[in-house]
Amino acid sequence: MAKELETGFVAKVVHFNGVPYRYAVWVPPEYDENQCWPVVLFLHGKGECGDDGVFHTTVGLGKAIRKNPERFPALVVMPQMPVDHRWEGPMLDLALATLTETMHEYNGDPERVVLTGLSLGGYGTWALGALAPKQFCALVPICGGGQPADAERLARVPIWCLHGDADPVVPVERSREMVAAVQRAGGQIRYSELPGVTHNSWDPAYSDQEVIAWMLSQRR
């Protein structure tokens, strides 16, 4: 008897450099293994670091999915980073490892892979987008920052950046400088500066139907 397919937030483990890491995959209720599916790789913020494999799915994109699951007819990969780490070096490789596992297991469409993240994950989005621009069809960094020197590589990918103009944690100038650098490099970039919004710009960003529709309409 065939095993019934599990949908919703599915708990996963990836072995990376000999160490097991928990992650989660959102599998939409209408999932059909015979179709290719768009994929979103989500990088959480500092407050969601840990090893429970669950908490990082309750903040940001996961929270938006729980509230309006019908808006997310896609696979969403949610790696969880250990405490006291950053989305850089081996942790970016870990994120790519969870993406690769999901693509193979669930028939992800390599032409429709979006990268997004908030706060510390926003920094990770800029960094991983520059490291592997050919991997993604779009980037959506939220209230993070990056290296302007990466602009030429980032300019190869459509980007929608969002940041609250009253952010006391990550200054809005960090997004402004990245947007300006990508624009100078000739990139296709949209920028939404949210008036009066402090550090939590992810809730208005991920609850915006236009943002989500844009993400899922992109194709490499």
Q: What is the pLDDT of residues 43-98, one digit of tens each?
A: 999 999 999 999 999 999 999 999 999 999 999 999 999 999 999 999 999 999 99
Distance (Å, rounded) from C-alpha 68 to C-alpha 50? 25
pLDDT of residue 2: 41
Distance (Å, rounded) from C-alpha 161 to C-alpha 171? 14
Domain regions of the chain by residue span: 8-217
Rounded to the nearest angstrom, the gap between the alpha carbon of residue 133 and the centroid of all alpha carbons in its chain is 14
The answer, yes or no, to whether residue 120 has pLDDT greater than 50, is yes
- pLDDT grade, residue 3 (50/70/90)? low
Q: Which helix (H) or strand (E) holds 65?
A: helix 61-67
Contacts for 156 with CB less than 8 Å, ≥ 6 apart: 133, 134, 187
**DSSP 3-state of 191:** strand
pLDDT of residue 5: 85
The reply to whether the predicted model has a pTM over 0.95 is yes
pLDDT of residue 1: 39
State the chain's mean pLDDT as an integer: 97
pLDDT of residue 126: 98
Give me 203's structure tokens. 């809730």
Name the residue type at position 41. Answer: L
CATH H-level superfamily of 8-217: Alpha/Beta hydrolase fold, catalytic domain (3.40.50.1820)
Closest by CA to 175, choosing from 157, 163, 190, is 163
E-strand ranges in 28-174 read: 37-43, 75-79, 108-118, 138-142, 159-164
Name the residue type at position 12. Answer: K
Contacts for 1 with CB less than 8 Å, ≥ 6 apart: none
Share of the chain above pLDDT 90, in %: 98
Q: Is 18 exposed, middle or buried (0-12, 13-18, 19+ CB in 10 A)?
A: exposed
